Amino acid sequence: MKIGIIGAMSVEVDALKAQIKDLRTTTVSGIEFFEGVLFGKDVVVARCGIGKVFAAICAQSMILRFGVTHVINTGVGGTLTDRLNILDVAVADGVVQHDMDTSPIGDPVGLISGINKVVLPTSKVLCDAALKAADKLCINAVSGIIASGDQFISSKERKQFIASTFAAICCEMEGAAIGHVCYVNGVECLIVRAISDSATGDAEMEYPEMVARAAAQSQKMIEEIIYNL
């Protein structure tokens, strides 16, 4: 087993990176990969950058260059349900790209051409491990669909559209791209998001204040998951 851990921002991965033993650093396609041992497991950790393209580049590099067998994507996101409040955690049992839209030619919104799926599944084993970790840490966690797109969603109307169209519980900007790469490569994948803003549409006010605390919440879960895998 070799575990790849991806976060979009430094705040999402720096604390994990600092705990890696036998650290080695490699740069691929402008992304720094930090390889070594974390809680007795072989890992490679990277900050991919914001958005689906950076996320996909990072995930594919981890699989092809570093040979990871499992990919965990940690970070923060916005809730789309009243079951998740600030500092709660969304665990993806499936991912969608909410900005993928070929509906003018008759496709369902979100359909990924070539795969012909809207929702891509994640690893049930890793999802169950994440929910177990949350329970042990007394963190409220909900499993469901996480929606990704190259948009920072701040309007209540857009959040309602994503939630109703895809039955999604959380939105963010990288997870579905990573899930897509893992799906086509047959690699186990987990997407975890700590909630940094509410469902009210006031993300621009809450995000700067809450992102560090939400990232720390996500990190605690990732540490617990890795330790117990």
Q: Among the options 12, 35, 93, 172, which is catalytic?
A: 12
Give the dihedral sign, CA 68/72/75/80: positive
Torsion-angle region of residue 156: left (phi > 0), alpha (psi -120 to 50) or beta? Answer: alpha
Is 197 in the active site? yes
Which of 93, 172, 197, 223 is flagged as catalytic? 197
φ/ψ (deg, to 5) at 214? -65, -40
| CA angle at 132 for the pair 7 and 82, rounded to the nearest 5° | 70
Cβ contacts of 149 within 8 Å, gap of 6 or more: 52, 97, 98, 99, 100, 171, 173, 176
**Annotated catalytic, 204?**
no
DSSP string, 61-121: HHHHHH--SEEEE--EEEE-STT--TT-EEEEEEEEETT---GGGTPPTT-BTTTTBSSEE
Of 129, 89, 127, nearest to 213 by C-alpha is 89
State the catalytic residues: 12, 197
